Structure 1
Amino acid sequence: MEKLREHFSRIRVPKGGDKVYKDECMFSFDTPESETGLYVCLNSFFGWSKEYVAKYSERSGNCVFLHIKRIKRELALCKILCGRRQLDGSGGNNHAVEYYQKTKYPLAVKLGTITQDGNADVYSYDEDDMVLDPNLVKHLAHFGINVKVMEKTEKTMLELEIDYNQRAWEWSRLTESGTKLLPKFGPGYTGMKNLGNSCYVNSVMQVLFTVPNFVERYFANGTSILEGYQGNNPADDFNIQMFKLSHGLLSGRYSVAPPNINLEEAVDTDDLQPGISPVMFRTLVGRGHAEFSTKKQQDAMEFLEHILKMTSCNSAGVTDPGNCFKFEVEDKFVCSASNKVRYVTRPDQYLPLPVPVDEAVNKEEVAAYQARKAEAQASQVVMQPEEQVRAKIPFDVCLSKLAAPEEILAFSSAAEKEVPMQKITRLRTFPDYLVIQLVKFGIGQDWVPMKYDVSIDMPEVLDLSVLRGFGLQEGEEELPETTAPPPKEPEIDAGIVQQLAEMGFPWEACRKAVHLTGNNGTEAAMNWVMEHMGDPDFADPLVIKSDTKSNDTFTANEEGLGMLMSMGFTREQATLALKETSNNLERAADWIFSHQHELDSLLAAQSGAAAPPPQKPNYTDGEPKYELTAFISHMGTSIFVGHYVCHIKKDGEWTIFNDNKVSKSADPPLDLGYIYLYKRVNN
């Protein structure tokens, strides 16, 4: 007790605003349910596993900890229960079925389908079918449910069956739910829990941590990251959380096969591996971001870009592991008036591949299927999943579309006016790892976001020699280097504004959309609206900035500064970002990431000093020949809904990662992916 008294002065009681990390270790994924439990410091309230608690105590001087150890217990539900688990992983957890098996009470009412006229879905588990209850109103009244005040909030079983069968084939193919799969355990085969629409995070990070550059930086050299950490809170440090995630996924510590399991026998993999729970990681990388800070479904490609930007910003003094994805794009512009050319290069880290739906090889079959589908929906007839016909587009057609010249209208310094030009895109360098995104998402004729339901025969071995760019060629003459006249301020087409406003969007937002898209028509303005409708200033009045520099003093928001500086930026860089976005933190985060290679030049220009040349990315280059190593698939009708899984090729065989479920793939759906990762083949 005397020993404890020596440390009483360092014991604190949590106050409002104090965060107590009692659910998982700061450096690992040990929890109170782990074998050795969790130790919570009674001064900092940080949680530590047994592996790290002694080192932390020695370094911090804090010696009093609360040891938390929990035993897993299952809660039994009794009256209001969830439904069946579907083959695709959706639905409930089978609690209603289990309750019936235990009590033999056969009837269940789906609460969300109860209407004021006394109708509802009533299901008999005894008969395994829908039944009619002529005394439903009376029976519900016994439980205190007054149908007169009820409102239908969910789809009926018939409505769900129609919807489900229309997408069941896609879910079954992508998750391989139609077959029993062999579970995988050990290093590199650890699943990740779904924290609520976090499947896009899980899929992207599983793929990233198969790339040697990321494995070396965060896993192999993890000790140096821990030893070099000097921060106040590990939960706010990107490199620490990347180390923690890499260790959780690659060490095998959290992917141990249960006893008495035959790994050569196909079994139900749902509950074999709980997976790690990346709560700290998701909170950190989403902080300050308009989309990733929410619990909504997001675009996996946008998240991959976001992680690569954060990795770059937190790689000061060390090699950025994301360099293996970067390449230089060459855009060649051919003037129709003079036949002279201009070459412009730019950095990129993924290759968007167009999906020309109108060039499907089975258009007649697709049209016939769509007609049958419309007829079935009108008559509420359920179509079977195997009846679905998906548009088939050859990969070579997509590649040819990318390589083909694009007709544009641009200013010619030779003709001194806008003229038609050809824009030809090539790759000046080819990275060690090439990310290809199939541009499957767009806006439908009803202006609703949609996904193109297509099948593309993506090759496992890829040669992109046709895309190699070589710069200025013999016989080509460059356009003169003269400054184009400043673009005229576009007039705001009142007709387009009116069309958008009639769709229900705010008037000022519509004016902004038309102005910022250069008065280029309804489609361009609508695309802008769909991309920015979540912005905090979406409906604010349009402000047209003047070129005149303001001498007004600017005071950066301290909270915003702290947030941006925690991402690895300097105070000066963070201040510039907030100034450029009027102290809007969400916009400042986007701005600073998109301008990270020219921040020094922009700061120098602001101070009047000579601007250093923008920092050029470090490119890898080599033969444009690749083999497929991983792909991420999306199921659902748009990027705002659905589910992501990924397939990764390890030791010559494909493995499917579906959140916490990790299994040997029986039939990888190579033609239905969204993001593909290729690695260079060295001859």
Structure 2
Amino acid sequence: MEELRQHFGRIRVPQGGDKVYKDECMFSFDTPESETGLYVCLKTFLGWGKEYVSPYSQRTGNCVFLHLRRIKKELPPEKEMEPEKKIARLAIGVEGGFNPDANKKRYEYEEHNSVVILPAFTTIPLPNPELPEIVQQSVAGVLKAESALHLAEVEAAAGAWDGEVRQVSKHSANLVQLDNGVKVPPRGWKCEQCDKTDNLWLNLTDGKILCGRRQLDGSGGNNHAVEYYEKTKYPLAVKLGTITQDGNADVYSYDEDDMVLDPNLVKHLAHFGINVKVMEKTEKTMLELEIDYNQRAWEWSRLTESGTKLVPKFGPGFTGMRNLGNSCYINSVMQVLFTVPSFVERFYDRRQTILENYQGSNPSEDFSVQMCKVAAGLLSGRYSESPNTIDKTKDVDDLQPGISPLMFRTLVGKGHPEFSTKKQQDAMEFLEHVLKMTACNSVGTTDPGNCFKFEVEDKFVCSASGKVRFVTRPDQYLPFPVPMEEAINKEEVAAYQARKAEAQAAQKALPEEQVRAKIPFDVCLSKLASPEEVMTQSSAAGKEVPMHKITRLRTFPDYLIIQLVKFGIGQDWVPMKYDISIDMPESLDLSVLKGFGLQPGEELLPETSEPPKEPQINIEIVQQLAEMGFPWEACRKAVHFTGNTGSESAMNWVMEHMGDADFADPLVLEDKKSSGNDNFTPNEEGLGMLMSMGFTRDQATLALKETSNNLERAADWIFSHQHELDSLLAAQSGAAAVPPQKPTYTDGPPKYELSAFISHMGTSIFVGHYVCHIKKDGEWIIYNDNKVSKSVDPPLDLGYIYLYKRVTN
């Protein structure tokens, strides 16, 4: 114990505000279940794998650690004392969008904990009553504390997706319940009319137990519960088997024709003798059933290749990510990103230098460190070791457990209104977010995202004078329009939709495969290359006139990201995804999009010293958007910020910004002539956040000023203006103008080959599941959360985001 006493000054007991990282190493994905366990520092409570604990100890002087080693042992069937639960949690994730524990093996865990003193790794097994009191208290505090990662997950889950927001039923407060003596047992239910034992609904007025609606595919019930409502008009029913011990369950209001909330559910159930404290969830909720049904109706089987025998892949580059509940978009984006050489070189090849040079106090909050950690997890092969033989009796989760992106998700989502939650997100938005954070953390070094950047040339041809104007801008992905009106199988789709509607009306199954619209890729490319008519100010005519806007690319990046614009607004004004098939080519030539600037015979529009006029706000477009249900001021903003260019661009702005905190705030037209000396006080929290990304205080202040202290908008603004920040600051102070820094572009021939694509299944960006396919060594590999397999039939025509790399020869 004498060796331990000399370190008493560096041992603490965790207090309320301390974060305890006892689930995972800060630099790797080692956990207590890893072969060498996890070492938790008893001063800082940071967790370290065996590879990194010694360097950490040498750097900090902290030598006393709690070593956590957990051994997982499979339980034989005879030791399973509790009945198997059918459903454990709701999430769109592993195995088809929600990950039930039904039919999964059970395990017990042996804990082998000890106190370890470095550098000699002197080990004192626990429990040990002879340990000094300070050590006992520190160890007990660490073991008792909620882990920092768990707390982060709970916080994220506060906004988790639950299908749709449910309203409190108008019948809840004054529901009439009959005193008919009915008492409902805790299990053994069946429909009182047809003896079905699943999909059962308890009427909360008289206690009648009847089966639910019949689904289109023949599953579900026999409609006895809804038919009973038609006779009695008793409005509320609860789905048996979905009742949990905290008093939650599926409640349906037949009168309101919707799933509802019943705040008095515990009392209403008690009327029939049901004690929720002893209830166990054994049935899928309606949301889970909807997910199940959508799996059959969506492109699920095509995208995940679930109907084929897939051979698992192991080794470097073949490690998946566990789904944390709607985190599949993270897996798909990061898998694709770490196939790009510049990202591999920065965060994998140079990871040891980055980790050794880290001098901060909490590595979980350092972007470069966490990118290195993810890169090593995915590319090293350490967490995807090939077994000598594949045991077909083993769960795929045992063969390919994957790595957990929880620490990474917590960091990149910090402060973001969407990515900080467990809701499903748009993979394209997340990719943009990661690229922005990468650029922000590349001050003083090369941004690996430069390989995606290209210069766009917008050419405006004045209809009044025939003269032209050029506007260039940087971009990092190319959105491809999807002209639904150009589908080549409209008649087949219409006939299928008619058969589908007929089947729905008759409540019959539709056994045939889905017929989706087919749009040739060349049609999408032609649409992108075609001129667009816009109204804008002409310096030659001295007024707004129609102009042809022609978009071309001045440079072609080494890696080109193409996004198919597959999302729009349905007839009910609800965001939806177009169900389409586009024959995306594996070899791509974009010579048709090459921009050449001013050509012989063309004359530039004259320069004007007057500042450009603010665009007129077209009230007709505002009215169109407002009729869709969007706030009037938001519609005015949409038209203003899209330069009055039309309803389509305004709608796209609405879709991108409808989550903004100030979405419905009044439009304020800033005075461009105002000086930088006016009274403005930046938000200190916002300053700290932006400065932590590598920007100066003046730059962060300018961003907050330009966005009225809105942190989310300030982050977007500063990223989009980072190449001209110095010139903007100079203009604000009245100093001599500083030429804006030009973005760094890669350029070369516009010929590409497909290297990866991300697919989305689901009816909108708010629900569904993402997978990605990556071409490695001439064969396609599918990454579906933690499962990594050789692809048999890659669905090239159903992707959402495509990554092309330049053909060098």
* TM-score, normalised relative to structure 1: 0.88
Q: Which of 186, 197, 211 is the aligned partner of 2:315?
A: 186
Describe the shift of the 1:267–1:414 C-alpha distance in structure 2 as closer, same or farther (beyond 3 A): farther
Describe the shift of the 1:488–1:57 C-alpha distance in structure 2 as closer, same or farther (beyond 3 A): closer
> 1:311-460 residue pairs with structure 2 within 5 A?
311-384=438-511, 386-460=512-586
CA distance in 1, matches of 2:551, 2:628: 36
User: Is the partner of 2:399 in helix, strand or coil?
Assistant: coil
Q: Contact 1:88/1:171 (CA < 8 Å) preserved in 2?
A: no
Structure 1 residue identity aligned to 2:794: P
Q: Which of 86, 95, 102 is the aligned partner of 2:102?
A: 95
Quote how far apart the aligned CAs of 1:603 are.
2.1
Q: Which residue of 2 aligns with 1:25?
A: 25
User: Is the partner of 1:387 in helix, strand or coil?
Assistant: coil
CA distance in 1, matches of 2:709, 2:531: 41
Describe the shift of the 1:564–1:97 C-alpha distance in structure 2 as closer, same or farther (beyond 3 A): closer
Quote how far apart the aligned CAs of 1:91 are.
3.9
Describe the shift of the 1:483–1:463 C-alpha distance in structure 2 as closer, same or farther (beyond 3 A): same
User: Is the partner of 1:215 in helix, strand or coil?
Assistant: helix
Over the matched positions of the two proteins, sequence identity in percent amounts to: 73
Quote how far apart the aligned CAs of 1:656 are.
0.1
Q: Contact 1:87/1:178 (CA < 8 Å) preserved in 2?
A: no
Higher relative contact order (CA 8 A, sep 6+): 1
Describe the shift of the 1:398–1:651 C-alpha distance in structure 2 as closer, same or farther (beyond 3 A): same
User: Is the partner of 2:535 in helix, strand or coil?
Assistant: strand
CA distance in 2, matches of 1:98, 1:51: 31
User: Is the partner of 1:281 in helix, strand or coil?
Assistant: helix
CA distance in 1, matches of 2:99, 2:439: 40
Describe the shift of the 1:287–1:109 C-alpha distance in structure 2 as closer, same or farther (beyond 3 A): farther
Per-residue CA distance 1:135-184 (angstroms, 9 max, x = gap): 9x9x989x999x9x9823543999777645322xx100000001120000
Structure 2 residue identity aligned to 1:165: R
Q: Which residue of 2 aligns with 1:82?
A: 87
**Residue 246, structure 1, aligned to residue 375, structure 2:** yes
Matched residues, number: 665
RMSD across aligned positions (CA): 3.6
Q: Contact 2:85/2:101 (CA < 8 Å) preserved in 1?
A: no
Structure 2 residue identity aligned to 1:89: G
Q: Which residue of 2 aligns with 1:545?
A: 670
Quote how far apart the aligned CAs of 1:659 are.
0.7
Structure 1 window deviating more from structure 2 (532-541 vs 175-184): it is 532-541
Per-residue CA distance 1:478-514 (angstroms, 9 max, x = gap): 1111246643574684x87787667665565566556
Q: Which residue of 2 aligns with 1:102?
A: none
User: Is the partner of 2:518 in helix, strand or coil?
Assistant: strand
CA distance in 2, matches of 1:106, 1:344: 70
User: Is the partner of 1:206 in helix, strand or coil?
Assistant: helix
Q: Which of 415, 420, 428 is the aligned partner of 1:288?
A: 415
Describe the shift of the 1:644–1:129 C-alpha distance in structure 2 as closer, same or farther (beyond 3 A): closer
CA distance in 2, matches of 1:389, 1:62: 64
Describe the shift of the 1:197–1:475 C-alpha distance in structure 2 as closer, same or farther (beyond 3 A): same
Structure 1 window deviating more from structure 2 (627-636 vs 470-479): it is 470-479
Structure 2 residue identity aligned to 1:535: D
Structure 1 window deviating more from structure 2 (644-653 vs 367-376): it is 367-376
> 1:23-172 residue pairs with structure 2 within 5 A?
23-72=23-72, 78=83, 81-82=86-87, 89-93=96-100, 95=102, 113-116=201-204, 118-121=208-211, 151-152=251-252, 153=259, 154-155=285-286, 163-167=294-298, 170-172=299-301
Quote how far apart the aligned CAs of 1:530 are.
3.9
Quote how far apart the aligned CAs of 1:226 are.
1.6
**Residue 476, structure 1, aligned to residue 483, structure 2:** no
Per-residue CA distance 1:443-465 (angstroms, 9 max, x = gap): 12221111111111111111111
Structure 2 residue identity aligned to 1:151: V
**Residue 275, structure 1, aligned to residue 402, structure 2:** yes
User: Is the partner of 1:458 in helix, strand or coil?
Assistant: coil
Quote how far apart the aligned CAs of 1:106 are.
11
Quote how far apart the aligned CAs of 1:186 are.
0.2
Show structure 2 runs of 5+ residues with no match: 107-187, 191-195, 226-236, 253-258, 260-284
Per-residue CA distance 1:408-450 (angstroms, 9 max, x = gap): 2222222222222211111111111111111111112221111
CA distance in 1, matches of 2:290, 2:58: 62
Structure 1 residue identity aligned to 2:97: S
User: Is the partner of 2:537 in helix, strand or coil?
Assistant: strand
Quote how far apart the aligned CAs of 1:365 are.
0.6
Show structure 1 runs of 5+ residues with no match: 100-104
Q: Which residue of 2 aligns with 1:210?
A: 339
* TM-score, normalised relative to structure 2: 0.75
User: Is the partner of 1:561 in helix, strand or coil?
Assistant: helix
**Residue 230, structure 1, aligned to residue 359, structure 2:** yes
Quote how far apart the aligned CAs of 1:531 are.
3.3
CA distance in 2, matches of 1:492, 1:625: 41
Quote how far apart the aligned CAs of 1:604 are.
2.2
Quote how far apart the aligned CAs of 1:356 are.
1.0
CA distance in 2, matches of 1:157, 1:32: 32
Q: Contact 2:771/2:783 (CA < 8 Å) preserved in 1?
A: yes
Structure 2 residue identity aligned to 1:660: N
